[in-house]
Amino acid sequence: MSIKGVETRTRILREALGQVSKIGFEGLTLGPLADQLGLSKSGLFAHFGSREELQLAVLQLAAEDFRREVLEPAVHQSPRGLRRLLAILKRWFNRYPEGGCVFLAGSAEYDDRPGAMRDALADFHLQWRSALATALRQCQQLGELEPEVDVDQVAFELFAIAAGGHHDYRLYGKQAGGRVKAAVERLLRSCGAAPEKLIWK
Amino acid sequence: MSIKGVETRTRILREALGQVSKIGFEGLTLGPLADQLGLSKSGLFAHFGSREELQLAVLQLAAEDFRREVLEPAVHQSPRGLRRLLAILKRWFNRYPEGGCVFLAGSAEYDDRPGAMRDALADFHLQWRSALATALRQCQQLGELEPEVDVDQVAFELFAIAAGGHHDYRLYGKQAGGRVKAAVERLLRSCGAAPEKLIWK
DNA sequence: ACAAAAAACGACCGGTCGTGCTAAAACTGG
DNA sequence: CCAGTTTTAGCACGACCGGTCGTTTTTTGT
């Protein structure tokens, strides 16, 4: 693969990711994508052996973006414990007003269609859930959350709040933000978090 | 419209609803639907002026089913308060192992596509949320939940649990049921519900 | 039983989709 | 600068889609 090869490939993937976050993976079609990039349909197609390969590459790019923009800055900038957990959640939920979440939309599109896309999506969610559980476990070790709570259960409930908030964001607009915040606070409070430590700085 | 007219129309809608719950509203296509029913595509098409009319009719049928199978039996069989609320939730969540929820799938499909389908879906979710809030308010009036809790907020959180549970059901299978139950119990507990009253009979 | 009305059919249209194939164009290393 | 490789374009295909239209069959009211 030449220099120009990887350049156009990433150009394609960036544009494709933008389109997917608006119209979903199934809405992504080669013709309009090629037009938007000033390429021919077959020229674009040659970079990936099939449409599914393109979709998988887009999903992988989205996953890399997500880790880089949500998890990594929170880990680097905030100390272990509630501070870091809240930093993660803030960066996570702040993505929703910006546009549709490709992981939630993707799950809805492929949950009844076995194949590589479904597998990759299931894997992403599993990894993310485990990252949340790790952050929660560190809170426990610091005594900021009660030791008897099931961190996997709490990770599920955080994800559920995200899913519900995303739904309301997409359907009813920005008013959903307050609901998400209040839900997280109630959840963490019920796990023994001190109210004065729940600051969304 | 003749007798036979409404008969086949409802036959079409029943079959269409079954297909939609498997492959979504956008996956519903006239040809295969007609084949499955032993009708010609154009014969089926004549019952609805357009595909969107068919989709809207399917959504309306699904909404009637939902009210009839979830809300109404709980209202008729359980007294106001936590008993009724839990009866509603049980019937609601029991639908998820059976097949995909057309309302959640529909929201994901149309949240970025203005039109009659999006409007109808937004309306359904609004109505359902309000029915949940009513049941919660009755709990408050009976002293089974603290009076200062925001019932609309709790209704959102119940919906979020449903959305998260549905996601996990579709992607990871039946193990999600326990997570949903535990999440509801934590939520209602944090609203002042007595633990011994949280029985999923 | 019969005429009007409704329902169902079958062929077809224009359009879009993913995908192969071949040739031209552009880039790359020596 | 040139040979060899890679990237891109052009074109066509087969499949599938929603929708139209004129005709035929079935149902309905009397």
DSSP readout, A97-131? TTS--HHHHHHHHHTTS-SHHHHHHHHHHHHHHHH
State which nucleotides on strand C lie below 7 Å from a protein beta carbon: 6-12, 16-22, 26-28
B72 CA to C14 C1', in Å? Answer: 48
In terms of residue numbers, what domain contains A182?
60-197
Does B5 fall in a domain? no
Per the document, the length of chain A is 201
With vertex at residue A52, the alpha carbon angle to CA B165 and CA B21, rounded to the nearest 5 degrees, is 35
Non-local (6+) Cβ contacts of A193 within 8 A are A82, A139, A144, A145
Structure tokens at A39: 């390429």
Task: State mean pLDDT over A34-46.
Answer: 92
Contact A112 B163 (CB under 8 A): no
Structural domain tally of chain B? 1
Q: Which chain B residue's Cα is nearest to A20? A: B112
Buried b (16+ CB within 10 A) or exposed e, A74-110: bbeebebbbbbbbbbbbbbbebbeeebbbbbbbbbbb
**Per residue in A96-151, pLDDT tens?**
998 899 999 999 999 999 999 999 999 999 999 999 999 999 999 999 999 999 99
Does A120 fall in a domain? yes
Does A22 fall in a domain? no
Instruction: Identify whether the C-beta of residue B28 lies closer than 8 Å to the C-beta of residue B15.
Output: no
Calculate the dihedral angle through the C-alpha atoms of A24, A28, A32, A36, rounding to the nearest 10 degrees: 70
Residue B176: per-residue pLDDT: 87
Other residues' Cβ atoms within 10 Å of the Cβ of residue B11: 13
CA A14 – CA A7 distance, rounded (Å): 11
Contact A179 B125 (CB under 8 A): no
Residue B35: per-residue pLDDT: 96
Handedness of CA A79, A81, A84, A86 (dihedral sign): negative
Instruction: Identify whether the C-beta of residue B182 lies closer than 8 Å to the C-beta of residue A153.
Output: yes
Does B84 fall in a domain? yes
Task: Kindly list the protein residues whose beta carbon lies within 7 Å of any strand C atom.
Answer: A 2-4, 28-32, 41-42, 45-46, 49-52; B 1-2, 4-6, 8, 34, 38-44, 46-47
- Which residues of chain A lie closer than 8 angstroms to B153, CB-CB? 179, 182-183
* Helix extents (H) in chain B: 3-23, 30-37, 41-45, 51-66, 72-77, 82-93, 102-110, 116-141, 151-172, 176-190
- Chain A touched by B121 (CB under 8 Å): yes
State which nucleotides on strand D lie below 7 Å from a protein beta carbon: 6-12, 16-22, 26-28
CA B157 – CA A101 distance, rounded (Å): 19
For residue A6, pLDDT beyond 90: no
- Chain B touched by A98 (CB under 8 Å): no
Other residues' Cβ atoms within 10 Å of the Cβ of residue B64: 10
Residue A4: per-residue pLDDT: 60
Using C1' positions and the CA of A43, the closest nucleotide is D8
For residue A12, pLDDT beyond 70: yes
For residue A5, pLDDT beyond 70: no
- Chain B touched by A45 (CB under 8 Å): no
Does A4 fall in a domain? no
Residue B128: per-residue pLDDT: 98
User: Mean pLDDT of all residues in chain A?
Assistant: 95
Among residues of chain A, what percentage have pLDDT more than 90? 89
The CATH number linked to B72 is: 1.10.357.10
Distance from CA of B166 to the nearest CA of A (A): 9
Q: Collapse the DSSP code of A191 into the 3-class scheme (helix H, G, I; strand E, B; otherwise coil) and give the result.
A: coil
**Per residue in A146-179, pLDDT tens?**
999 999 999 999 999 999 999 999 999 988 889 9
Residue B36: per-residue pLDDT: 96
Per-residue pLDDT of chain B (201 residues; tens, 9 = 90+): 777 668 999 999 999 999 999 999 999 999 999 999 999 999 999 999 999 999 999 999 999 999 999 999 999 999 999 999 999 999 999 999 988 999 999 999 999 999 999 999 999 999 999 999 999 999 999 999 999 999 999 999 999 999 999 999 999 998 888 999 999 999 999 999 999 999 887
Does B86 fall in a domain? yes
Calculate the dihedral angle through the C-alpha atoms of A108, A112, A114, A116, rounding to the nearest 10 degrees: -10
- Chain B touched by A149 (CB under 8 Å): no
Contact B164 A156 (CB under 8 A): yes
